[in-house]
Amino acid sequence: MAENIVWHDHKVTRAERASIKNQKPCLLWFTGLSGSGKSTIANALDVALYQRGYHTFLLDGDNVRHGLCRDLGFSDEDRVENIRRIGEISKLFADAGLIVLSAFISPFASDRRMVRNLFPEGEFIEVYLDTPLETCEARDPKGLYEKARQGEIRHFTGIDSPYEAPSHPEVRLDTSVMSVDACVESLITYMVFRELITR
Ligand code: ADP
């Protein structure tokens, strides 16, 4: 642990950086089982926000697991460290004034709480993809459930590794009964209601 680091006082605040773009920084944290629709909905919301003129950034397994977290696996310990790093990166992007969308299974409530605690009240929006396991498994977009059932993948969330459902998510979406457009619509409505965006 480095002890001699002196934090410089930033002259430009995060609010000032964000005000250049007429937006409020925040983090939308998508959590849910594999195949529940996190990437699909986060990407669709990303497009919708871009079309409205907002500056966003999307973090997901593809751009994080191959770089920042490529040294980490899927043990409980590595999952905790994975989420810690993603939380810190999300915070830096929010400090830069951006609307951040992060899509990770993030199965442990304590990890999600750790990320929530990095953000001011109201700027961490937990979006729980509450899609039933049966639907996720039937979709199996990456063939991972099949492999997990056959024991080829161990510690797979929902099969032989737990998922702790959020008790008080800001937004709950079940993509077995809601279309992609309907999910995006409800997220936009929520963001307008919370005055994170205006249009
Ligand atoms: P995750 O990121 O949670 O692992 P993905 O978004 O990668 O999930 O996969 C969800 C799959 O379900 C995709 O293949 C998507 O096309 C499909 N799907 C079907 N209906 C919906 C819906 N209403 N919302 C989101 N995804 C849906």
33 Cα: distance to centroid of ligand 1 (angstroms): 11
Angle at 74 between CA 68 and CA 76, to 5 degrees: 110
The dihedral over CA atoms of 74, 78, 84, 90, expressed in degrees to the nearest 10, equals -40
* Type of residue found at 65: R
Residue of the nearest CA to atom 14 in ligand 1?
141
Given the residues 90, 106, 167, 179, the one annotated as active site:
106
Q: Which atom from ligand 1 is nearest to the alpha carbon of 33?
A: 3
Residue of the nearest CA to atom 27 in ligand 1?
37
40 Cα: distance to centroid of ligand 1 (angstroms): 5
* pLDDT of amino acid 21: 86
Nearest to 174 by CA among 44, 38, 60, 39: 38
Give Cβ neighbours of residue 47 (< 8 Å, ≥ 6 apart): none
Q: Show the ligand 1 pocket: residues with CB < 6 angstroms.
A: 32, 34-41, 103, 129, 139, 141, 175, 178-180, 183
The dihedral over CA atoms of 43, 47, 53, 54, expressed in degrees to the nearest 10, equals 0
Distance, CA of 118 to CA of 2 (rounded, Å): 20
Q: Based on the residue annotation, tell me whether 106 is a catalytic residue of this protein.
A: yes
C-beta neighbour count of 196 within 10 angstroms: 19
146 Cα: distance to centroid of ligand 1 (angstroms): 16
Nearest to 55 by CA among 100, 120, 104: 100
pLDDT in tens, 161-187: 999 999 999 999 999 999 999 999 999
Report the chain (199 residues): mean pLDDT per 10 consecutive residues. Answer: 73 87 94 98 98 96 90 90 97 96 96 97 98 98 97 95 97 98 98 94
C-beta neighbour count of 178 within 10 angstroms: 16
Distance, CA of 44 to CA of 178 (rounded, Å): 14
* pLDDT of amino acid 10: 67
Residue of the nearest CA to atom 17 in ligand 1?
37
Q: Which atom from ligand 1 is nearest to the alpha carbon of 41?
A: 25
User: Is there a contact between 44 and 107 (Cβ–Cβ < 8 Å)?
Assistant: no
Residue of the nearest CA to atom 21 in ligand 1?
175
21 Cα: distance to centroid of ligand 1 (angstroms): 31
**Superfamily for domain range 14-193:** P-loop containing nucleotide triphosphate hydrolases (3.40.50.300)
145 Cα: distance to centroid of ligand 1 (angstroms): 14
Q: Which atom from ligand 1 is nearest to the alpha carbon of 179?
A: 23
* pLDDT of amino acid 75: 86
Could you tell me the two tokens for 27? Answer: 């983090």
